[in-house]
Amino acid sequence: MNSAITPPSLSFRIGMFGAFIAPLVFIVSTVAFFVIFRAFDMNALTVGGLIGLFIAAPFARGYSKFWDAIMKGVSSQTSVMLLMLLLSVGLISELLKTTGLSEGFVWLALSVGVNGANFIAIAFIAVCAIAMSTGSSLGTMFTVFPIFYPAGAILGADPVLLAGALLSGALFGDNLAPISDSTIISAATQKYRTKEGSAEIPGVVASRTRYSLPAAAIALVLFWVIGFAVSPGAAATEGISAGDFSATGLWMLIPVVALLAVAFATRDLFKAISVGVLVGVIVGLMSGAMNFSGVIGVDGDAVTGFLVGGIASMLPIIGLSMIVFAMLGVLQEAGVLEAIVYKVVDSGWVNTPRRAETAIGVGTLITITLFASVNGPSMMVFGPLADRFGAKVGLHPYRRSNIMDCFALGLGSIVPLASSFLFIGSLLTTDMGDAPALNPFAIFLGAFYPLVLTLIAMIAIITGFGRRFEGPNGTLVKTQAEAVIVEDSGPNTNVVTLQQTQGLNAL
């Protein structure tokens, strides 16, 4: 096969291993702080990554080229958008946390007798619905954690399962919502070979339900059954009643509904957050859920209020995100992904449907791990490669899209030591009153939906469940013998750079 690789703009004196020095130092420091010393500090992880970059720099052929690669990674459209989105969602998260919406839910749950495992199951269903409405797992997480997590702790819900249920619901919506960027990208990158165009979103969503809905149903049963086994339940609510809590915070459901409505109508998270904050301030002041100093004020020499608190709470994860994108910039400029792709394509190993799907699944996991589980850019980069692998054996664009997305929103989103979702989930469990702060590994253990989704995708690859091929004019056919296989004219892997992932909703 004629597949010359364009020489990378960044090289190392010790070969391509030099590009992995910073990620390896980052992983070692994460294990040291989180596992050995049990010190769950985002700033420490940022330091680990930064030290890794300083160690790697002298090995580069061209010291300035190394730091230019870092600047490209940090200044990419995706990076800047993610950083601004984190700052923005920090405001709505802090607003909901400080205005008593969670206490209002405790009052409501005690009034109707919901506690323990029942609360976990209800929270999972509610978050699935919210995430389907917004199409954004990140926006959903920052909205629901301040509402459900502290309330569940008071009501006797196991915190690990509850945090896992909230994360699972957010990923379910991202996986299946027609307006989700991951759904759109996974469809748009899979081209037909027997007609013009790419996989249609309605068809992709309809075919994806055979994997997503069973995974959600199994996860719901697991949350409920295991929740009953490990949650204190009614024992935790003995001696307390609805009268011990205020229902005033329930007024703050109004800005939540406003945020969701704008997000659904416009698919613009920044606009939705702006509306949510504005409506939240008005409703909070009018209902008495907060006063003017709760918006912004001065106490001695300290500036207070949810605006300042929301920004401050995001700084650790913003620093970590900048380091991750810096390392991605180095990997991208060193041509690591392109080299791996050509190796697989030229090997001739991808010659059966099962092998092609395995390559798509494993390739997706590798790519999304390198991108710290930021699924949109990951699938923009790997999507054209999945398209080529699958088309080589006649797989239908729907099938290619679904295998890629299920691995991305499955295990790919919760890879320990590398998942931004786990780190953000851990951050969102801190400073939640009596609710315990959780480390990323604990949340991983409770994230049943992505784990079950990955298992279902693996079973589908092994057994051929749901496998369809591309027939004449893009039709769905069940056997490879009926498929129309069109050979690609050249390698044309179309590896996308960080700078080319413009306009994506980062998470």
Q: Is pLDDT of 117 > 90?
A: no
pLDDT at residue 1 in the model: 43
- Rg for the chain (alpha carbons), in Å? 23
pLDDT at 341: 65
Does an H or E element contain 314, and which? helix 306-333
Residue position matching structure tokens 């991305």: 408
The three-state secondary structure class of 476 is strand
CA dist., res. 4 & res. 360, Å (int): 22
Higher local confidence (pLDDT), 497 or 483? 483
- Name which residue leads in pLDDT, 151 or 115: 151
Of 9-18, 59-68, 113-122, 246-255, the range with the lowest mean pLDDT is: 113-122
Look at 351 and 494; give whichever has higher pLDDT.
Answer: 351
pLDDT at residue 417 in the model = 78
- What is the C-alpha separation between 180 and 133, in angstroms, rounded? 9
pLDDT tier at 390, thresholds 50, 70, 90: very high
* pLDDT reported for residue 6: 67
Query: Which tokens in the block code for residue 204?
Result: 């992709």
Asked if 423 and 48 touch (Cβ cutoff 8 Å), the reply is no
187-232 pLDDT, tens digit per residue, is 988 999 999 999 999 999 999 999 999 999 999 999 999 999 998 8
Confidence of residue 488 (pLDDT cuts 50, 70, 90): low
The pLDDT of residue 419? 87
Say how far apart CA 246 and CA 104 lie, in whole Å.
6
**pLDDT band with cut points at 50, 70 and 90 for residue 487:** low
How confident is the model at residue 134, as a pLDDT? Answer: 79
Buried b (16+ CB within 10 A) or exposed e, 131-169: bbbbbbbbbbbbbbbbbbbbbbbbbbbbbbbbbbbbbbb
Among 135-149, 336-350, 438-452, whose mean pLDDT is lowest? 336-350
Q: pLDDT tens for residues 433-476?
A: 889 999 999 999 999 999 999 999 999 999 999 999 999 999 99
